[in-house]
């Protein structure tokens, strides 16, 4: 015989498994879109390409080119000869969505 506690545990386990699988599949689709992103070179044609795009925005593109650091390049402690830079410009979009549960924007 199965007790109500065991049924509750089984149901919650299935619900969490379904939720995590849904989140995994959603993120896997995003990763696939990023991996299929077109590769563009940083050159004089890039501003014209961006301004010609819908909404003046290129979703999921990979930019290839030479980046110069503002001060000094960061060097890796783990891989010799590997250097990187920190992006200074960060675009953050804010959307207002009405939350009916909390009754706020």
| 56 vs 51: CA distance, rounded Å | 5
What per-residue confidence (pLDDT) applies to 90?
A: 66
Q: What angle do CA 74, 77, 81 make, to 5 degrees?
A: 65
**pLDDT tens, per residue, the chain with 105 residues:** 889 999 999 999 999 999 999 999 999 998 998 888 888 888 888 889 889 988 888 877 888 888 788 888 889 899 888 888 877 666 777 777 777 887 777
- For the chain, which residues make up each domain, given as ranges? 2-82
The reported pTM is 0.47
């Amino acid at each position: 015989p199965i007790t109500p506690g065991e049924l509750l545990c089984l149901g919650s386990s299935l619900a969490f498994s379904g939720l995590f699988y849904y989140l995994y599949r959603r993120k896997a689709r995003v990763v696939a879109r990023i991996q299929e992103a077109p590769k563009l070179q940083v050159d004089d044609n890039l501003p014209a390409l961006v301004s010609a795009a819908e909404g003046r925005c290129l979703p999921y593109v990979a930019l290839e080119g030479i980046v110069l650091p503002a001060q000094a390049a960061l060097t890796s402690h783990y891989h010799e000869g590997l250097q990187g830079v920190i992006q200074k410009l960060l675009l953050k979009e804010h959307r207002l969505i009405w939350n009916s549960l909390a009754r706020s924007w």
